[in-house]
């Protein structure tokens, strides 16, 4: 007997066309039109991890190309030139000193925005290990800055930062120029690392196929697990700092649990999940 | 140009009316000829060299900051500024090469051959800034000098001699010149000025600036303690004079010395490269990198060799794990040393820099280098010099950054707040810090600009 079900026309993909599954794709930290580099995408269940990545204050690495001699309205080399200045007095030595000063100010900001009481021994312990990171809202802070290449008028900076926008980085190039009593524009912003996702593992245009994407997801499965764990650690570190906050949080949690307990139990019963209380 | 763009769009099949563009569309780059028309500005010439600047902060009512408008405001509406919590630029006519902060007063020195080499400001009740003639009465001297005022030295060759270093104590000051020795002024009740003690001498309004004699070779460094003075000669021997009740003169007794006497004890025959003191404890660093100490030990400064509270003769301090010491600095109750690798070790009593829990230590504790800016981006940052005020520390790294920690007495740390600082904190100064002088409640920083 023939299996008539399997011979239905609908089962042939040449008849119906390729079948698409609806998959949610989310974007991690944004990259604006002028910049290039690593862009983290989350597929399906990975979108939840993306949220953790955003909250976890991982640092990002950028390579900034700059050019001395002109100032434009949007801090890039394609903008309208506002002013042109000389730059022959700029040496690598002076540039390094300016970068050291900027880095110093940012290190200070890093500790100040960490919302930790600096008069406690715990604050000292965290500061020694370099674990003081800005919690909650903070302005963009550079955790590392150095000059990779210097060939006047062109120069390249490597920046490690937290909570930044690409426009801020272009403005940084402009400010470096101002400190050196000249003007500078940014001719390229390239993100080389976003948290644990490095540019070496990023997929280029030729590799945007299902096979390589699946491989990449498998490669990063450890990293995604780490991010989830890191988020929980950061939460506990934040709780160390203020008892009052913890009490309020537990009270809020208790209230939530009370109001939604009936709903929770019904959800658990239907879906069969095991949750911790 | 505009007409061309309409034609190309027309090829794509869009319906465009005949719109005449008055301006260039946004985003298109200008043509080459227009770019070269903009003028080129020059802000810095080719031969511009970095300038030296002086920054001051701390308690201003004594006039020690040298800014009169903080004490006596220019206009009636302004209020006097009691504490200057962040670095403030002090305008000086000459480039200041050496500065020293005493207890409520400051001395600034320039190593030029001009006639005015020394400026003083602050408390002058014991004539520690020399005789500052008042405007109204030429026989009277100001008790408080609010602005940097020239201090006159009785030099034999004022147009040849240069001032190398200044040092200030509680109520006296020492000036070191390159060819005419050491001059002292101020209170001499304990012989700290190196001259014979005169009973019931009135120090206010005194004209006496004494040239100290009694050294067998040229003096290379001077250090002022609270009421005693230490001198280091080029042969490496240390001389001391002044109050000795805590044994801080190191002469083996606890009485006053009114003229410099060579210090013996463990220092006999040792070549010393640096002496340090500010309170009642004194330290000397030999050329071999060993540390000798004497004086007050109530706060465990010398607890590595003695359980007594005073030591009147220098003893070698066996500091474990410190290595070769390059520089030492003494405060009122705490001590810091810097070794050849650029690491800072602290001990004593007070806020030592390792959190609020560590308030006293008898053995040297290393301050972690991460506080001084060492990270993966800058793995080779080292501390290049350390200084001590009465209750705080200051460290300068080789990248020109200034770090302070300790008790924030009347805003002397310069970090913008009145709170004490339990670990090293950066002071934001616009430039590269080359030297810093710490006092009781104020500090002076000598800064070089970047451009």
CA distance A146 to B255: 57
pLDDT at residue B4 in the model: 39
Give the contacts of A219 (CB within 8 A, at least 6 positions apart): A201
Q: Give yes or no for A156 touching B (CB within 8 A).
A: no
Q: Give yes or no for B41 touching A (CB within 8 A).
A: yes
- Under an 8 A CB cutoff, do A119 and B420 touch? yes
What are the pLDDT digits (tens) for A236-273?
Answer: 444 443 444 444 444 444 555 555 555 545 544 454 44
Give the contacts of B170 (CB within 8 A, at least 6 positions apart): B102, B103, B187, B226, B227
CA distance B365 to B387: 16
Q: Average pLDDT in the A149-164 region?
A: 92
CA distance A184 to A167: 14
Q: Give yes or no for A144 touching B (CB within 8 A).
A: yes
| Tokens linked to A231 | 């988020």
B34 pLDDT more than 70: no
Q: Give yes or no for B450 touching A (CB within 8 A).
A: yes
pLDDT at residue B78 in the model: 87
pLDDT at residue B373 in the model: 86
DSSP character for A76? B
The partner residues of B383 in beta bridges, in order of sequence, read B397
pLDDT at residue A20 in the model: 74
Q: Average pLDDT in the A180-192 region?
A: 93
pLDDT at residue A108 in the model: 87
pLDDT at residue B409 in the model: 92
Query: How many CA atoms lie within 13 Å of B146's alpha carbon, on the beta-carbon side?
Result: 10
B70 pLDDT more than 50: yes
Residues of A whose CB is below 8 A from B39: 84
* Closest-approach residue (CA) in chain B for A160: B377
Of B275, B200, B176, the closest CA to residue B232 belongs to: B275
- Under an 8 A CB cutoff, do B451 and A108 touch? no
| Tokens linked to A90 | 């700029």
- Under an 8 A CB cutoff, do B48 and A89 touch? yes
CA distance B287 to B273: 5
Q: Average pLDDT in the B39-65 region?
A: 92
What are the pLDDT digits (tens) for A18-63?
Answer: 777 777 888 878 888 889 998 888 887 778 777 777 777 788 999 9
Name the more confident of A139 and B144.
B144
Catalytic residues of A: 32
CA distance B347 to A213: 58
Residue A235 pLDDT level (bands cut at 50, 70, 90): low
The three-state secondary structure class of A111 is helix
Helix residue spans in A89-181 (DSSP H): 92-112, 121-128, 166-179
- Under an 8 A CB cutoff, do A121 and B355 touch? yes
Judge residue B77's burial from the number of C-beta atoms within 10 Å of its C-beta, 0-12 exposed, 13-18 middle, 19 or more buried.
exposed
Interface mutation target, options B35, B37, B357, B422, chain A, most CBs of A under 10 Å: B422
Give the contacts of B226 (CB within 8 A, at least 6 positions apart): B103, B169, B170, B243, B278, B279, B280
Considering only residues 163 to 192 of chain B, which have any Cβ-Cβ distance to chain A shorter than 8 Å? none
pLDDT at residue A5 in the model: 61
pLDDT at residue A259 in the model: 52
Distance from the Cα of B84 to chain A's closest Cα (Å) equals 20
Q: Average pLDDT in the B7-17 region?
A: 42
Burial B217-233 (b: 16+ CB within 10 A, else e): eebbbbbbbbbbbbbbb
A148 pLDDT more than 60: yes
- Token look-up 């658990």 returns A268
pLDDT at residue A203 in the model: 85
Distance from the Cα of B275 to chain A's closest Cα (Å) equals 31
Please give the mean pLDDT across all residues of chain A. Answer: 79
In the β-sheet with B182-186, what is the strand arrangement from edge to edge?
B163-168, B172-177, B182-186, B210-211
CA distance B329 to B306: 20
Q: Average pLDDT in the B380-387 region?
A: 94
Please give the mean pLDDT across all residues of chain B. Answer: 90
Q: Are B238 and B261 in contact (CB under 8 A)?
A: no
- Under an 8 A CB cutoff, do A179 and B371 touch? no
Q: Answer positive or negative: Cα dihedral of A220, A221, A223, A224.
A: positive
- Which domains, ranges and CATH numbers included, belong to chain A? 60-194 (3.30.2350.10)
Q: Average pLDDT in the B165-183 region?
A: 95
Q: Above pLDDT 70, what percent of chain B?
A: 92
ipTM > 0.85, yes or no: no
């Amino acid at each position: 007997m023939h299996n008539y079900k399997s011979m239905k026309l609908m089962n042939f993909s040449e008849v119906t066309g390729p079948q698409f599954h609806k998959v949610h794709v989310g974007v991690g930290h944004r990259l604006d039109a002028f910049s290039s580099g690593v862009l983290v995408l989350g597929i399906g269940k990975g979108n939840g991890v993306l949220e953790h990545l955003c909250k976890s204050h991982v640092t990002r690495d950028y390579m900034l190309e700059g050019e001395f001699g002109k100032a434009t309205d949007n801090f890039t080399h394609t903008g309208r030139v506002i002013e042109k200045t000389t730059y022959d007095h700029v040496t690598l030595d002076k540039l390094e000193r300016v970068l050291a000063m900027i880095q110093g100010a940012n290190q200070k900001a890093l500790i100040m925005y960490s919302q930790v009481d600096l008069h406690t021994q715990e604050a000292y312990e965290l500061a020694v290990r370099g674990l003081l990171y800005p919690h909650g809202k903070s302005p963009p802070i550079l955790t590392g800055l150095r000059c990779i290449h210097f060939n006047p008028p062109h120069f390249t900076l490597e920046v490690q930062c937290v909570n930044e926008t690409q426009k801020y980085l272009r403005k940084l190039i402009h400010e470096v120029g101002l400190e050196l009593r000249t003007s500078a524009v940014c001719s390229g912003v390239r993100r080389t690392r976003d948290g644990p996702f490095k540019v070496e593992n990023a997929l280029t245009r030729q590799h945007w196929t299902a096979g390589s994407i699946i491989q990449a997801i498998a490669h990063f499965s450890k990293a995604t697990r780490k991010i989830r764990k890191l988020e929980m650690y950061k939460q506990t570190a934040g709780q160390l700092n203020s008892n009052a906050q913890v009490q309020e949080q537990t009270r809020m949690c208790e209230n939530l649990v009370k109001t939604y307990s009936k709903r929770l139990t019904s959800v658990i019963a239907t879906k069969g999940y095991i949750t911790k209380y | 140009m505009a007409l061309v763009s309409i034609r190309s769009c027309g090829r794509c099949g869009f319906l465009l009316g005949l719109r005449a563009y008055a301006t260039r569309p946004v985003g298109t780059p200008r043509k080459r000829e227009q770019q070269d028309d903009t003028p080129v500005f020059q802000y810095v010439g080719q031969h511009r060299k970095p300038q030296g600047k002086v920054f001051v902060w701390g308690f201003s009512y004594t006039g020690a900051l040298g800014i009169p408008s903080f004490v006596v405001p220019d206009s009636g509406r302004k209020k006097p500024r009691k504490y200057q919590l962040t670095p403030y630029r002090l305008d000086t006519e000459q480039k200041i090469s050496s500065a020293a902060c005493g207890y409520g007063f400051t001395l600034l020195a320039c190593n030029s051959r001009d006639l005015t080499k020394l400026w003083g400001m602050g408390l002058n009740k014991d004539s520690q800034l020399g005789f500052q003639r008042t405007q109204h009465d030429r026989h009277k001297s100001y008790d408080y000098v609010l602005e940097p005022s020239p201090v006159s030295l009785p030099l034999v060759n004022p147009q040849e001699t240069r001032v190398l270093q200044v040092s200030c104590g509680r109520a006296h000051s020492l000036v070191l010149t390159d060819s005419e020795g050491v001059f002292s002024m101020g209170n001499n009740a304990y012989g700290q000025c190196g001259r014979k003690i005169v009973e019931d001498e009135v120090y206010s309004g005194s004209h006496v600036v004494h040239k100290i004699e009694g050294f067998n070779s040229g003096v290379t460094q001077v250090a002022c303690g609270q009421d005693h003075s230490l001198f280091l000669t080029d042969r490496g021997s240390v001389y001391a004079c002044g109050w000795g009740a805590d044994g801080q003169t190191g002469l083996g007794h606890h009485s006053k010395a009114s003229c410099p006497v060579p210090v013996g004890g463990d220092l006999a025959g040792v070549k010393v490269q640096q002496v340090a003191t500010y309170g009642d404890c004194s330290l000397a660093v030999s050329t071999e990198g060993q540390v000798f100490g004497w004086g007050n030990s109530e706060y465990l400064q010398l607890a590595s060799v003695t359980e007594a509270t005073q030591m009147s003769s220098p003893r070698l301090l066996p500091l474990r794990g410190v290595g070769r010491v390059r520089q030492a600095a003494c405060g009122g109750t705490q001590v810091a040393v810097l070794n050849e690798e650029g690491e800072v070790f602290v001990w004593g009593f007070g806020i030592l820099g390792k959190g609020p829990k560590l308030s006293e230590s008898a053995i040297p504790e290393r301050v972690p280098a991460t506080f001084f800016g060492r990270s993966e981006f800058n793995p080779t940052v080292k501390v290049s010099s350390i200084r001590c005020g009465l209750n705080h520390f200051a460290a300068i790294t080789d990248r020109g950054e200034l770090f302070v920690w300790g008790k924030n007495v009347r805003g002397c740390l310069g970090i913008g707040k009145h709170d004490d600082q339990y670990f090293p904190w950066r002071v934001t100064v616009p430039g590269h810090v080359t030297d810093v002088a710490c006092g009781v409640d104020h500090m002076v920083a000598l800064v070089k600009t970047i451009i």
